[in-house]
Amino acid sequence: MTCLRIATRGSALALAQARWVAARLEAILGVATETIPIKTTGDRLQNVSLAEVGGKGLFVKEIEEALLDHRADVAVHSAKDLPAVTPAALALVAWPQREDPRDALVARVRGATLVTLRPGARVGTGSVRRAAQLRAFRADLQIVPLRGNVPTRLRKLEDEGLDAIVLACAGLARLGLSDRIDERISPEVLLPAVGQGTLALEARAGDALGRDLARLSEPQAERAAIAERAFLARLQGDCNVPLAAFAEPASGGLRVRGLVASVDGARIVRGEATSEDALAAGEAAAAAVLRAGGDEVLAGLRGTSGP
């Protein structure tokens, strides 16, 4: 192969991520690369809630089609954009080193934190996960729906009279904007999204290229991704479900903390598990959430009698 074609979303963040991967591939595999930006359905639908139009799969569908049609050789995704299930003809083959998985508070008044924001502060986020946990932490906050790429959201902080917005620390870091973070929010307050801070490389299943791409995987990032995605799969989570999971090394193996919440944050059900086996840890954490009442929360979210 003389040139490796890398499919990615076209946002500034996605392109920065793809360029980082391209540089690693060129150095490790000794191949030239070409970046192929693709505008996904999720990128086109900027003024609607993703939960209303199909969820997180809207950010990967067209990119996966480029792989299946052989218009690209590898795709670079933000792992938190990935649905729980990957098409059978494709495979997730590498998980490079994870960036800071925490959420970031970016405030209009520099130095503010979630605790010090004024009563009734207007906080922007496009995530039902963040919104539910923010409401649980401070019921007085006004949660304002927010869509768009990172630069757009930063502009809206000023243009729409918001007191703060919540973004991912990782995205800000990859854009060279870490200095804009006023608070790196503890997972005790905002448990991160599944895969937050992690990149995922996807290729056609069975391609020899997959083995070469796997050289970019970092073992700890891979184990965490497997565990968190196992949690996601067991609870059948999507953008309309306020769900979070975070895996980290602990005594006894990998500790996975997870939760599911009602949209208003009035009820948050948590569970955790530790295991040497990443898949087992994620599944056990999900089972703990379900046993603690998560099944009832999920049923309420979906209007059904069970998950």
Q: What domains are defined for the chain?
A: 3-96+198-217 (3.40.190.10), 103-185 (3.40.190.10), 230-302 (3.30.160.40)
Q: Which of 14-18, 71-75, 226-230, 234-238 has the lowest mean pLDDT?
A: 234-238
Strands 32-38 and 3-9: parallel
Where would I find the H helices in 91-180? 128-137, 150-159, 169-174
At 120-176, the pLDDT tens digits run 999 999 999 999 999 999 999 999 999 889 999 999 999 999 999 999 999 999 999
Q: Which of 232, 39, 261, 256 is nearest to 134 (CA)?
A: 261
Catalytic residues: 81
Rounded average pLDDT over 235-252:
90
Residue 48 has pLDDT above 70, yes or no: no
At 260-307, the pLDDT tens digits run 999 999 999 999 999 999 999 999 999 999 999 999 999 999 885 444
Strand order in the sheet with 3-9: 32-38, 3-9, 74-78, 199-204, 90-94
Please tell me the predicted confidence (pLDDT) of residue 43.
Answer: 65
